[in-house]
Amino acid sequence: MVLIIFGASGDLCKRKLMPALYFLYKEKRVPSVFAILGTARTSHSDRSFRQMMKEELSRSLHQNQLDEAVLSEFIECLYYQPMNPTREDDYFLLQNRLKEMDRELTNESNYLFYLAVPPTLYETIPKLLKKAGLTGEPGIKRIVVEKPFGYDLNSAQELNEIYTSVFREDEIFRIDHFLGKETVLNILALRFANSIFEPIWNRNYVDYIEITAVEKIGVERRAGFFEQTGTLRDMVQNHLMQLLALIAMEPPRQFNAISFRDEVSKIYRSLKPFKEGSIGEQVVRGQYTTAENVKGYREEESVAPDSRTETFVAMKVFVDNWRWSGIPFFLRTGKRMPTKVTEIIVHFKQAPYHLFECLGTHCPVADSLVIRIQPEEGIVLRFALKVPGSGFEVKMTDMDFSYASLGHLPAMEAYARLIEDCFSGDSTLFSRGDTVEDSWSFFTPVLEYWKNHPEAPLYSYPAGTWGPHEADKMMEDLGFSWSNPCKNLTNTDKYCEL
């Protein structure tokens, strides 16, 4: 199989794809006959591309992952074809190069195209691949495309039309790297490999659910992309929705591409649509401003000085079905927050009657289950226990499972797991076309509302804080509050400093 990476000189390829591929190669989890053909506008020979990737990998891999002999072998699998992905003629260069490689390899024409390029190229590449005869029989042909797939419902529908006119649905891998994370997949094990959670996993026992994925970094070198995208399209429409689906879904009949994705789809279709009049109350958007030594978003390079792109979103959504009716799901994501943390907290209802009074500083509150996706990966069950000694003081305590206690953390990066699935043709953990449309159909009214109402508030928050106060207010109005990890979780000092 030849993996053809479009955008091979870009950040994604260097920082995520190459380390993942090196890892798979080291573990002998790549196809038995295998090569990588990088393509981009930048001019490189095979040799200079190999050299560049070798330097990048030596720099980025941890010492304990780096095996010089394996790295040298891996680098020999790399080839490079300079080309402009918008120029039809260049696809014939690509075709010739692939024919040459086929002759050297197996003559089977098995190609996996990976689009590590800006979304503006998502339409062009499959069309031109088809024109150049690089799709269809003979051999295996698959395409991997990054999120965001589309920028609203219409564009996602158009993209789906293009992709399905070139590839079969089972040959299209719409990747969302959150679904490759070990701790995200473990939500499925937690829910469906155990029986103790199921009876309480519903509106009768759950009060509300928080899904947080915040980051300490700003937009870094991606401001150009971010200006066009914003947080809702970058994080919410895809990553947070995947987390929501895993928490809310019904058990799939089997863990395969059909059953699993059917259940995801049912959740997206059960989301209670936003009403124009309530978008302002249900969705809070924000943008970070300068604080101490940190630049505000509008001061970042390539950002318009009056930009209205959101770098923070908090929202309240409802899954309108038998299990979850009336239970709010609060989603929150943002850049330049105090820390990097992704976690889901299931808050259970209060005990029906307060037998034990609030003594001193200790008050029994409702139980919760914290699923920490990253960092400090683990699961915490928080419940009340008696403080040893006289009297009857009850305090919240944590039963804390940490992945580190299993001896080792998941070694394989999310990308490695997902790329391996692309090699084997397993699309279970990839978004299906109709599901992507369902997700866009839920969020498009919000995007339209922002577009048509320039006066709709975009709240500012100083870099390094937990976002605009309006996001807190949204929770407080219902008697809840965000569980900011620095405040509440144990052992968080390491990832709490500003």
Among 378, 347, 413, residue whose Cα is nearest residue 186: 378
Question: What is the closest distance, in whole angstroms, from the C-beta atom of residue 416 to ligand BG6 in the complex?
Answer: 13
| Cβ-based nearer residue to ligand BG6, 57 or 184 | 184
Q: Which of 219, 243, 242 is nearest to 231 (CA)?
A: 219
Q: Report d(CA 147, CA 411) in Å as an integer.
A: 24
| Closer residue to ligand BG6, CB minimum distance, 19 or 328 | 19
Which residue, 215 or 470, has its beta carbon nearer to ligand BG6? 215
**Hey, which bits of 263-409 come out as E strands?**
283-289, 312-318, 328-334, 341-348, 368-374, 378-386, 394-402
- The nearer residue to ligand BG6, 356 or 495, going by C-beta atoms, is 495
CB of residue 324 to ligand BG6, shortest distance in Å: 25
The C-alpha angle with vertex 263 and arms to 444 and 232, in degrees rounded to 5, equals 25
Residue 75: Cβ within 10 Å count:
19
- Determine if 287 is a binding residue for ligand BG6 (CB under 6 A): no
- 133, 163 Cβ separation under 8 angstroms: no
Phi, psi of 32 (to 5 degrees): -60, -35
Judged by CB under 6 A, the chain residues 377 through 416 that form the site for ligand BG6 are none
Q: Using an 8 Å Cβ cutoff, are 474 and 284 in contact? A: yes
Of the candidates 126, 104, 89, 121, which has an alpha carbon nearest to the alpha carbon of residue 35? 104
Q: Minimal distance in Å, beta carbon 342 to ligand BG6?
A: 6
SS3 content of the chain, % helix, strand, coil (to 5): 40, 20, 40
Q: According to DSSP H, which parts of 34-81 are helical?
A: 46-60, 68-75
For residues 295-314, which are near ligand BG6 according to CB under 6 A?
A: none
* Minimal distance, residue 227 CB to ligand BG6, in Å: 13
Taking the least distance from each CB to ligand BG6, the nearer of 22 and 178 is 178
Q: Which residues contact 437 (CB under 8 A, 6 or more apart)?
A: 153, 156, 157, 160
Q: Provide the minimum distance between the beta carbon of 495 and ligand BG6 in the complex, in angstroms, as a whole number.
A: 13
The one-character DSSP state at 463 is T
Minimum Å gap between C-beta 274 and ligand BG6 is 23
Q: Of these residues, 239, 347, 408, 453, which one is catalytic?
A: 239
- Using rule CB under 6 A, residue 342 touches ligand BG6: yes
Using left for φ > 0, alpha for ψ between -120 and 50, and beta otherwise, residue 252 falls in beta
* Under rule CB under 6 A, residue 367 binds ligand BG6: no
Write the DSSP assignment of 89-106 as a string of letters: THHHHHHHHHHHHHHHTT
Q: In what order do the strands lie in the sheet with 78-82?
A: 78-82, 35-40, 2-6, 111-115, 141-145, 172-174
Contact between 215 and ligand BG6 (CB under 6 A)? yes
Residue 180 and residue 431 in contact, taking contact as beta carbons nearer than 8 Å: no
Nearer to ligand BG6, 81 or 342 (CB): 342
Q: How far is the CB of 147 from ligand BG6 (least distance, A)?
A: 6
Total Cβ atoms within 10 A of residue 209: 23
Residue keyed to tokens 């923070």: 312
Total residues contacting ligand BG6 by CB under 6 A comes to: 3
Which position among 152, 171, 234, 413 is part of the footprint of ligand BG6 (CB under 6 A)?
234
Q: Which residue is nearest to ligand BG6 (CB)?
A: 234
What is d(CA 80, CA 58) in angstroms, rounded to the nearest whole number?
19
Cα gap 15→36, rounded to integer Å: 16
**Rounded CA gap, 181 and 374, in Å?**
9
- The verdict on whether 239 is a catalytic residue reads yes
Q: Cβ of residue 198: shortest distance to ligand BG6, in angstroms? A: 28
CB nearer to ligand BG6: pick between 171 and 234: 234
- 227: contact with ligand BG6 by CB under 6 A: no
Q: Which is nearer to ligand BG6, 171 or 176 (CB)?
A: 176
φ/ψ of 93, rounded to 5, equals -65, -45
Shortest Å distance, C-beta 93 to ligand BG6: 30
Output 11 or 102, the one with its CB closest to ligand BG6: 11
Catalytic residues: 239
Residues at the interface with ligand BG6 (CB under 6 A): 215, 234, 342
